[in-house]
Structure 1
Amino acid sequence: MNADQVIGVVMAGGRGSRLQALTRTRAKPVVSFGGEYRIIDYTLSNCFNSGIRRVGVLTQYEAHELIAHLQRVWALRALHPGAFVEAWPAQQGEANGWYRGTADAVRQNLPAIQRSGASHVLVLGGDHVYNMDYRDLLAGHVARHADVTVACTEVGLPEASRCGVLQTDAAGRVIAFAEKPRHLESTPDRPDRAHVSMGIYLFRVEALVAGLNARGGSLDDFGGDVVPWMIKRHRVFAHPFVDKDGAPRFWRDVGTVKAYFEANMALLDPAVRHELCRPEWPLITDRGHAPPAVLESDASGCEAMVLNSLLACGARISGAHVNRSIVSRDVTIGSGSIVEDTVLLPGAVVGADCRLHQAVVDENCHVPDGTIIEWRGGGSAMEGAPVLVTRESLRGEVTPRLRLVESN
């Protein structure tokens, strides 16, 4: 069996409230990432590079910008007969309301899936950063005569408590699956680690229909409801996402501001860039028409300096110092500013003589001249978390832990 018999369904309708202001007016999958991309570009590029050319993107919350991105970047990628990348909004028909969960979202679009004639359905998250050849997943699924295959990775126990944790037997068959469990089962050889679902599920269509119709169609979530129900009734297997040496490959769920910040900063690691930016596995996005990045001296002759950072097209840095930062498309940094360990999203403007450390600056925010951005108040709960800078915080509408200080 080849990828032509698979239809991809991408979950892109969630509110993403844990990303706070970054998703106030946009869907989480279309949030900028890595200077040049949108989060959903990773999943859709994986589909395209794996030969899966029929993809429905399930949209709901603040979908306008996401739909525009799909039309601008992805619609023309599916030009050969029968191929498509389409937005599938919540149907809102007489029998349907808003999507109640991941499984309900697929259930509402089941007629479109069945009309495609695909024999298998690949359910994917639109808010994860990774590179995967789904053909490897498909090959293992077919070889095991599986009804469902769940892609999984290995994480530390603290992170596992926020995920779907699974246990397998010696043959790789899933024997238990618990969503965000209170009591964790570690891996047999690593007491500090657990196997967790990546939110990637490959179903035989018949098995998918059975799971969606179970208990009168009341099972609304794949991880919390459908997959646990199917374990005792169907052949459910795990597919470890590992390299040739058996080590976990790079995969990040960027569902919180801290996780989003850390995943961006991970791109400064050459090993991660090698994993995610491979010529044979292109990452497709809207490149636009921005000019090359510019590093220039300011009016006084002070030169711009950039170390250990990523610069996107259209960035302009004049007499400023930048270290360990992600400078996205069309960002401007003014003279005398120092930017360290910071993610600047597209169109952000940092004025002259500013100091930014460990921050995420939202799209098109203008940081005034002389502004210092720093954490105040301490507390271990936020250790390692960045300052999230938005238009509201720049107007003084901030949390007690964030203090913005203007030095002039």
Structure 2
Amino acid sequence: MKKRKIVCIIMGGGRGTRLVPLTKERCKPAVPLAGKYRLVDIPISNCLNSGMNQIYVLTQFNTASLHRHIQEAYKFDPFGGGCVDILSAEQTDRSDGWYQGTADAVRQNMNHFGPMEEGDLYVILSGDQLFRMDLADVVREHDAHGADVTITAKPLGLDEAEGLGLMRVDDHLQITEFVEKPTDPKVIQSLAVGESVRQKMVEPGNKDYCLASMGIYVFNAKTLIEALDSDTTDFGKEIIPGLLGEVKMFSYVFDAYWEDIGTVKAFFDCNLRLTDTMPPFNFFDEEARIYTRARFLPASKMNSCRIDRAVVADGSIVTDSDLKRCSLGVRSVVSDGGTLENVVMMGADYYETEDDFEENQSLGRPNIGVGHNSVIRNAILDKNVRIGKNVILDPTGLPDNFGPDVDVAIRDGVLVVCKDAVVPDGFVMKA
């Protein structure tokens, strides 16, 4: 009997404008996460842990670092038939433009996914979320309902639902109404879920909930192919509402940790929560590992440090410093006397040598990392930053200030030192 084909498609997003300046030089899926991972590792790992290994990442902006990461991280033997491929926008006889939306991106790449037969599925995921989900269970429920489309949905309190796609379901979880990003409280209130959804929740309590789309879809192959035979460009705004009432569309209720990492503030808060004693997302789960590139770095060195909750990735060197609620990425270097509080430091792509140190000194340029006696609070330090001695960075009380030519920016109240930026000795940014 022919094995069922399941093609997983990860939406890499457009310019990632809400994550600027973290996306100035990289696409959204390539943004570092939790010290040693990239955002794209989350959906890829969910696919692999669910037994799905035909995976395509669709993106079109600043893809070089994403290509390098995926080529280094995901290698398959020739017998398993697996792949993780990046599909960027390309000129063809049928199209010569950029992706116009999520649906248009899938449409332009249908020829790359190979032939699909009756019973085959497309699984579409977002590239900027932190979650752990058994996609095989979603497929089982999709089949049990006899669905043409299944939308994974997160129960959220009514006060948390603004700006998300919301749905109404019947007692069998069939979707009867879909509203894209409502803002009217009365509309949101009218979409409060019933008992059938509450029974799927772990601890619903007494508050009211609504079902928010997670942007993860399972499509029967025939249904998706027919839906894309149009000029529609977006799943949430056009494809899903257009199919409502025309095909069997069901909800899969997911009541576990899920975080949409679409903004600088969400990214910052998500990383800092991982330093908690019991973080909401468990990277230590060996039954459902999160995969990434194997770098073969040495263990980290912590010399005479005072630490209150920190995640420190491989190859870091921290000397005589105070760390409070910090996430340090691979090859992070913090010199003696440093004070870091609420800091996400992405680390570096390489170590500097003695020759590099001499050259830096001759140029009056700080070494990569955080210099002596520097104080940094509420900040994201992107890759390969050079922060000098006696620097003070604290955005508290300062207005947002970011743009294409700003190397030390503030966005959503979070200070961001951009990739490869140089902050000279004695620089102060504080209220």
Fold similarity call, TM over 0.5? yes
**Any residues of structure 2 matched to 1:147-162 within 5 Å, and which?**
147-157=148-158, 159-162=160-163
Give 1:329 shift: 0.6
Note closer, same or farther for the CA distance 1:384–1:203 as it changes in structure 2 (3 Å cut). same
- Could you tell me which of 366, 369, 373 is aligned with 1:349? 369
* 1:370 matched to 2:383: no
Q: Which residue of 2 aligns with 1:387?
A: 415
Q: Which residue of 1 aligns with 2:200?
A: none
Q: Which residue of 2 aligns with 1:71?
A: 71
Q: Which residue of 1 aligns with 2:145?
A: 144
How many angstroms apart in 1 are the aligned matches of 2:100 and 2:212? Answer: 23
Give 1:160 shift: 2.4
Counterpart of 1:354, as a letter, is S
Q: Which residue of 2 aligns with 1:361?
A: 381
**Any residues of structure 2 matched to 1:7-406 within 5 Å, and which?**
7-74=7-74, 76-77=75-76, 79-96=78-95, 97-115=97-115, 117=117, 119-157=120-158, 159-183=160-184, 184-186=187-189, 187-188=192-193, 193-213=209-229, 217-242=230-255, 249-272=256-279, 275-296=282-303, 303-347=304-348, 349-377=369-397, 385-390=413-418, 405=428
Note closer, same or farther for the CA distance 1:313–1:275 as it changes in structure 2 (3 Å cut). closer
How many angstroms apart in 2 are the aligned matches of 1:354 and 1:193? Answer: 46
Cα-to-partner distance string for 1:216-272 (whole Å, 9 max, x where unaligned): x12110011100111110111111112xxxxxx111111100000111112123443
Partner-residue secondary structure (3-state), 1:51: coil
Give 1:55 shift: 1.0
Counterpart of 2:102, as a letter, is T
Note closer, same or farther for the CA distance 1:224–1:345 as it changes in structure 2 (3 Å cut). same
Moved more, 221-230 or 2-11: 2-11
Note closer, same or farther for the CA distance 1:262–1:145 as it changes in structure 2 (3 Å cut). same
Counterpart of 1:91, as a letter, is E
Give 1:113 shift: 2.6
Cα-to-partner distance string for 1:39-87 (whole Å, 9 max, x where unaligned): 110110111111101111112111111112111111x135434322111
Give 1:175 shift: 1.4
Q: Which residue of 1 aligns with 2:362?
A: none
Counterpart of 2:83, as a letter, is F
How many angstroms apart in 2 are the aligned matches of 1:357 and 1:274? Answer: 24
How many angstroms apart in 2 are the aligned matches of 1:406 and 1:310? Answer: 25
Given that 2:157 and 2:207 are in contact with CA atoms closer than 8 Å, whether structure 1 keeps it comes out as no
Number of equivalences: 385
Moved more, 105-114 or 62-71: 105-114
Q: Identity of aligned pairs, percent?
A: 30
Given that 1:50 and 1:134 are in contact with CA atoms closer than 8 Å, whether structure 2 keeps it comes out as yes
Partner-residue secondary structure (3-state), 2:147: coil
Give 1:376 shift: 4.9
User: Any unmatched runs of 5+ in structure 2?
Assistant: 195-205, 349-367, 401-409
Q: Which residue of 2 aligns with 1:300?
A: none
Give 1:179 shift: 2.0
Counterpart of 1:166, as a letter, is M
Counterpart of 2:8, as a letter, is G
Note closer, same or farther for the CA distance 1:349–1:156 as it changes in structure 2 (3 Å cut). farther
Counterpart of 1:373, as a letter, is L
Given that 1:3 and 1:51 are in contact with CA atoms closer than 8 Å, whether structure 2 keeps it comes out as no
Q: Which residue of 1 aligns with 2:406?
A: none
Counterpart of 1:311, as a letter, is V
- More helix per residue: 1 or 2? 1
How many angstroms apart in 1 are the aligned matches of 2:336 and 2:29? Answer: 34
Given that 1:6 and 1:54 are in contact with CA atoms closer than 8 Å, whether structure 2 keeps it comes out as yes
Given that 1:4 and 1:51 are in contact with CA atoms closer than 8 Å, whether structure 2 keeps it comes out as no
Give 1:21 shift: 1.3
Given that 2:378 and 2:415 are in contact with CA atoms closer than 8 Å, whether structure 1 keeps it comes out as yes
How many angstroms apart in 2 are the aligned matches of 1:168 and 1:78? Answer: 43
